[in-house]
Amino acid sequence: MTTTSGSTAQPATLESVLRQIDRLLLPISIAALAVGIVAAVGGGSELAFDVWTALTVVVAGRLVVEIVDALRHGQVGVDLIAVVAMIGAVLLRESLPGAVIAVMITTGRALEDYADTRARRELAALLARSPRVVHRYGPGGLTSPPIESVIPGDRLLVKPGEVVPVDGTIVGEPAVLDESALTGESRPTTREPGDQIASGTVNAGSPFDLIALASAEGSTYAGIIRLVASAASSKAPFVRLADRFALLFLPLTFGIAGIAWLLSGDPVRALAVMVVATPCPLILAAPIAIVSGISRAAGRGIIVKGGGALESLAGASVVLFDKTGTLTSGTPTVAEVETFGSISPDELLRLAASLEQLSPHVFAGAVVRAAHERGLTLELPANVAERAGSGVTGTLSGRTIQVGQADWIAAGRSLPKQVRELGRRTALEGSSTAFVGVAGLIEGALILTDPIRTETPRALRLLRRAGIRRIVMVTGDTPAVAETVGAAIGVDAILAERAPAEKLEIVAAERADSGGIVVMVGDGINDAPSLAAADVGVAMGARGATAASEAADIVIVVDRLDRLAEAIRIARRSRRIALESVVLGIGLSVIAMIAAAFGLLPPVAGAILQELIDVAVILNALRALGGDRDQQTTVPGWAETGPALHAAHLDLRSEIRRLRLTADQLDELEPTAALGELQTTNAFLVGPLLSHERYEDQTVYPSVASAAGDDDMTAPLSRTHREIFHLIGLFGRLVDDLPASGPDDGDHRDLRRVLYSLHAILELHMAQEEELYVALGESGRDGLAVARPA
């Protein structure tokens, strides 16, 4: 067994030549063995002897070349046993055992070549898909220059079926993309104009235009290819452990062979021992298992840079998480729309989004996206001007609209009470506020948050199920915000206001305290030092965080945190299979050697038995390509049902958030106005909301429970529905009992209690449902797979 360095051209060339020789030797050796058998049966024993001897010498010579090259690199493998066995066969004139060994060696090499090729196919597929040319618009029309000539700002055409060549922004028409090669997601996704997309995805729809944001070298796909190129080049510590097994195996083999010869006086006994101790394919089963694990991870959007990273991940016990962009989405989201006057929340959002269309502010995209999600029609503003650090102003239908800081909009006037109260609340919650002014008056505000990823709570549960003992959140954010996020997701420790240098100290301290392997997960440039310092650095690289990806050992190119737990499961399974392959194979070989030493296995039978052992162990190693599957549950039609439920939740959430606003305003509204607001709220509760909740309870939950075989996943949610139905009924009775003049102070207390309860339970309930629906929609275009312990 030999592993060449790859750092210079010569070893790589020699390895390629030897691989070609192996492929030629297999048919030659089979033919030579067959010719010898025919000759021996026909009475030509001398011809058979000559053919078998020649075959043995040729294959032994091939192995000698490899052994010499390995010794030059300070490596010794069990090929030496095979060479000694074949030389012994020639010297003892045991030509048939020598020929059988030769055939089995060449067959084993062919098996290894096939297994290695199959194990690396996911990695090779990424490299093979790399585009070579682009379609670029220019003064002379559409041209097809090399991809290396693309610069940021170029307008490109992506034709149906083509790989997106560089990172860019969609312009013109929407794009339908197949992201499965990078993310493992089977369903096509639709991206709207203005959306940024990563290179490497495939156009699964009509042609679309793209404005390049990066060169080919600086794009996401090129970065992934660089990571993949390095992934297969390093040798895992466990594979080096397999080499150490070989070093122990050599003296053991020669010792047993020598004792057998000494006690029996028959050199053929020693030959038989060495024949059954030629497990070169056996030892190579370890790297096959490791590379298979790397390949499987790549197929799930997890790029592992080498076998060492995979093995270290298999032993992980502590995981440190950055917050922003890792545990949270990292993208601002409009969580609430607060109004202070007569303008409705949708109208306030529409005005703000229309103005923000032309703003470069980081919040602008979130505001426009929120308006699109609600189906609002936007106008094109006029006289748009950006005030750095203050906000943006413009004209819509003759009205001056401003979005930004309250002090700037008020222009020296005193701020309304609602503005001050909202400022205090958002400061405590850690959210951001963009106030909206119409004709100089502050009419409301947009509350923006960096929401916790929908899959984060489930991802952390999966990590604990995978064997992670301690989970820590490390962030540069304030303690108040960090505590809010940490408490919601259930980490073991929260470390806030930590600079990049302090994160390095935390990595070292956690390693010292746990005595185990520490994993650091992050996505930003500030995470790069700690990613490099950790035993295993994991970068959330879906957004192309180049510095973090280059510093990390593992890059998750799909924007899903729960892939980390999947990576750990793949790593542990691959290492377990590698260990099984080595221990089982060597154990069986030792038993066969003892049998041969006692004369129970002649050389020919021993060679055949050893090859059967090698084949079995290599096939076992290839199991690492498969999944460590839990029992699967499939709900038909979820590809349509899941997105429809998500869209319904988006529609309902704006009204659910108004429940708290209504409760807050009861004391300030005139009784008749309060009555109208309460009746509107009740109409929403008994209408759209109750209809949706009943549909889930009576249709969706039973479908999931039926497919799963029990209601373990849906029973808690169904019990929450009972409480929601009770509160809706209670609120309706309170409203129906109100006089025509409206509620008084005594009514306010009961109404607020029910509204606050409904708001809290509905927010929590919908978050739980979203987590479940996202988990259920992880696989299958036509169904849904749910991980359940087998």
Dig out the tokens for 50 from the structure.
């000559």
Helix (H, G, I), strand (E, B) or coil at 582: helix
Dig out the tokens for 566 from the structure.
């999947």
Rounded-to-integer distance, Cα 356 and Cα 122, Å: 43
Q: Are 477 and 328 in contact (CB under 8 A)?
A: no
Q: Which amino acid is at 503?
A: K
Rounded-to-integer distance, Cα 450 and Cα 606, Å: 66
Q: How many CB atoms lie within 10 A of CB 449?
A: 19
Q: Which amino acid is at 750?
A: D
Of the candidates 731, 707, 724, 719, the residue with the CA atom closest to the CA atom of residue 784? 707
How many angstroms separate the Cα of 174 from the Cα of each of 187, 210, 647, 658, 718? 16, 10, 19, 33, 38
Secondary structure letter of residue 344 according to DSSP: -
The per-residue b/e assignment along 594-620, b for 16 or more CB within 10 angstroms, e otherwise, is: ebbbeeebbbbbbbbbbbebbbbbbeb
Helix (H, G, I), strand (E, B) or coil at 431: coil
Alpha-helical (H) ranges within 400-527 are: 406-410, 417-429, 456-465, 479-489, 500-514
Q: Are 166 and 147 in contact (CB under 8 A)?
A: yes
Dihedral sign, Cα of residue 713, residue 714, residue 715, residue 716: positive
Catalytic status, residue 553:
no
Q: Which of 22, 116, 178, 322 is catalytic?
A: 322
Cα end-to-end distance, the chain, whole Å: 38
Q: How many CB atoms lie within 10 A of CB 720?
A: 18
Rounded-to-integer distance, Cα 460 and Cα 550, Å: 25
Secondary structure letter of residue 782 according to DSSP: S
Of the candidates 84, 31, 22, the residue with the CA atom closest to the CA atom of residue 54? 31
Rounded-to-integer distance, Cα 449 and Cα 677, Å: 27
399-404 and 333-339 as β-strands: parallel, antiparallel, unpaired?
Answer: unpaired
399-404 and 432-438 as β-strands: parallel, antiparallel, unpaired?
Answer: antiparallel
Phi, psi of 331 (to 5 degrees): -125, 125
Rounded-to-integer distance, Cα 465 and Cα 469, Å: 9
- Which distant-in-sequence residues (6+ apart) come within 8 Å of 790 by Cβ? 629, 630, 631
Query: Which residue matches tokens 């029309």?
Result: 141
How many angstroms separate the Cα of 297 from the Cα of each of 228, 546, 549, 627, 634? 11, 20, 16, 10, 23
Phi, psi of 8 (to 5 degrees): -125, 170
Determine the length of the chain. 790
Dihedral sign, Cα of residue 240, residue 244, residue 246, residue 247: positive
Q: How many CB atoms lie within 10 A of CB 424?
A: 9
56: left (phi over 0), alpha (psi -120 to 50) or beta: alpha
Q: Which amino acid is at 347?
A: E
Rounded-to-integer distance, Cα 731 and Cα 736, Å: 9
Dihedral (Cα; 715, 720, 725, 729), 10-degree rounding: 150
Alpha-helical (H) ranges within 357-449 are: 364-373, 406-410, 417-429
- Which distant-in-sequence residues (6+ apart) come within 8 Å of 481 by Cβ? 430, 496
Q: What share of the chain is helix, strand, coil (3-state, %, to 5)?
A: 60, 15, 25
Residues with catalytic roles:
322
